[in-house]
Structure 1
């Protein structure tokens, strides 16, 4: 499958933003408390869907550019760096229920979200004092500049530092920097994200000792920001050799056991964007559903070559 020539809508649409990352959680009370009390995020909005028996919780680090609707409510779809927690009602009362964190065989796929800070040592000390569970401390392993913690559902969260001089527009010390997923074949996946969705490779990192390559993609860096200080990037990890194994596939998080849900792209004109993708690529693209065709209107879901879901929504949508 090839994805030639950049879609003009995506290429020319400066409003495109990697807005949020969605993960499913067992108990929202526990998870929201973790992300707000332990990691310093703010709950921007909660939206309940009684007819479908699920709730959404939108969190982000405090910032000075969150858009507000006419009623004074925060609109979480206008900026990058948003975390969406999805709770399917009843899971909190099921002692046998647990999500798939994407890092355990045979259901590897989603890797982690990453939070960056000016002072990684101070951050880790603060989290240690709050009894946060560490998967990897700074002193562990070969990489002494990154740590990993676990949230209440055992999702991995990477922690690393950015240069304090790189402030960008966000006034908060912490940034929801990127989301990592593993992919089978970069020769298929990179053209999809670049040509269909209009992203750019910000950095490529080859690790010969570990036999893997990392690609950081996004919609550009604001003045004064770096790869580590920005918000709203996608990291794709390619473990060498998977592309030649015809039977190999990663778990996309939406097939059982569920866990990771999707990343979300926000646009000023998503309907036009989706229409041009359809016209350009036809049946090369898998939709689930097409724009405005599902129970929830004003959105679409598109599948990448590894069957991960990407939501496409209007930037100004009001929940």
Structure 2
């Protein structure tokens, strides 16, 4: 029984939502498609899986477990009718999860399209010094970063944007100790470090990890060299947190809740979990725990949950 980490994929990122109708509408406006819905009426929650699925998409037509760059929205029944229910977006205290990021063909037109539709922004292109990124807000005030796939000077006079070319590029979480986190994601989960962005002046570094082919090292004309990818994980480290024994990020699953987990799909679930056991991971849920024998959860060094499921294309296991 063996497992090949080069076949793993960063499948999805899970966010809890208050009103699934409004949230699904937002992500569909971004160009995503509802590719799967899992209803759990006995447990009073439903799961919505959205991904870019046009003929131009990276994983067009693939089974949902054989993709990267999915957004999973979790709706607990009744929250949409509770005036006091509010999601923690991870960017106000307690902090942890940061944002999702969508890369687009024409960032000026993409942002204008969102603004024209009435969606709000945490940061518009014209705000601050960084004129090459924006942050839109989804209906629960989760931050959705908008990044360009093309140099700004090539698109600034063009009014059109094609959502079929968009990518669900990355998910950002904050980490306390980069050495511990990079070791975990590389040695345990089998990811590669695709890109590092050091910001000594502002005292933070960004680390982009993922599966698949290596990425170009250099930024070209202000464009992130991994902007055309899907399924990346961005780790944000603010200098000094690793030296504070009392410092801790919020995992999104303790109250107040918001972000839930990232999920990797593997070639052989039993073999992968046996390998994780050998690596002495911290488990949130082993395969053998509880009633669901087709899902496991490991914990990263900051306590973020990482779901592990079977890639059904490589080895059928569950009737999802």
Q: TM-score, normalised by structure 1?
A: 0.88
* Cα drift, residue 261 of structure 1: 0.5
The reply on whether 1:258 has 2:257 as its aligned counterpart is yes
The equivalent residue for 1:3 is none
Instruction: Report 1:81-230 matches (<5 A).
Output: 81-105=69-93, 107-163=94-150, 172-221=164-213, 226-230=225-229
Q: Is the CA contact 2:265–2:309 (under 8 Å) kept in the aligned structure 1?
A: yes
The equivalent residue for 1:71 is none
Question: Structure 1, residues 227-266: CA drift from partner, whole Å, max 9, x if none?
Answer: 1110000000000010000100000000000000011000
CA distance in 2, matches of 1:35, 1:295: 32
The equivalent residue for 2:36 is 45
CA distance in 2, matches of 1:50, 1:289: 22
Task: Give the aligned CA root-mean-square deviation in angstroms.
Answer: 2.1
Instruction: Report 1:287-298 matches (<5 A).
Output: 287-298=283-294
Q: How many residue pairs end up in the alignment?
A: 295
The equivalent residue for 1:4 is none
CA distance in 2, matches of 1:159, 1:67: 21
The reply on whether 1:277 has 2:264 as its aligned counterpart is no
Structure 2 SS opposite 1:194:
helix
* Cα drift, residue 56 of structure 1: 0.1
Taking structure 1 as reference, are residues 80 and 222 closer, same or farther at Cα in structure 2, changes over 3 Å only? Answer: farther
The equivalent residue for 1:62 is 53
The equivalent residue for 2:299 is 303
Q: TM-score, normalised by structure 2?
A: 0.87
CA distance in 2, matches of 1:205, 1:226: 11
Unaligned runs of 5+ in 2: 155-162, 217-223, 313-317
Q: Which residue among 61, 64, 80 is the counterpart of 2:68? A: 80
